Amino acid sequence: MSTRHGAKSRKGVPAALVAVALTFSLAACGGDGDDGKNAEDAPKASTPAGGSADGPKGGSSAEPQSSEPLATINGSNGFQITLRTAERDSGGFLTVQGVLKNTSGKSQFPPLQWNGQETKVSQTGPSFAGMTLVDKTGKKRYYVLRDTDGYPLTTTGLTTMQSGQSVDFFAQFPAPPEGTKSVDVQIPLMPTATIGLS
């Protein structure tokens, strides 16, 4: 009786292996479907505030940027800021993203004035906390948001940049009203630029 039972078990093994192999095949095929596309198309999360010894928070400039920039700001201090996007989200925030580039012929440190003047902000190290947006229609100025501990929601940890080096950055603000279609971007020591909002 145990012999028959063993024989039946051995007959069932190939069928089980085929079922497992089909399951893995279907799972592998499903990886190229809509799920992969949605993950690729999803917007990348902004890096939270907080500096790092490895470099600035806020992303790397290795990713290609295909869209036309909203504005390019050339400072007399040898820095260029390219504003790529300014997008509202459903939470009532506006996130500005761009690229900082050292266009001088030497290595240099981003200006301390970009940090802002608050005590808490100065503890995060070099950042874009001093950036503001001006809504001329609504006659309001918007500052970079702070978290519950007072730290700015922007790229921090900026360090000395070599000539030609680029770094991605972001800064998050309260979103102006839907009727506001453009704002002036003001960064200390840099010319003002007007950008459209999406």
Reported as a single tens digit per residue, the pLDDT across 67-120 is 799 999 999 999 999 999 999 998 999 999 999 999 999 999 999 899 987 777
Q: Which two tokens stand for residue 68?
A: 């036309």
Whether 171 shows a pLDDT value over 90: the answer reads yes
Report CA-CA distances (Å) from 22 to 11, 13, 19, 41, 90. 18, 14, 5, 29, 42
pTM above threshold 0.85: no
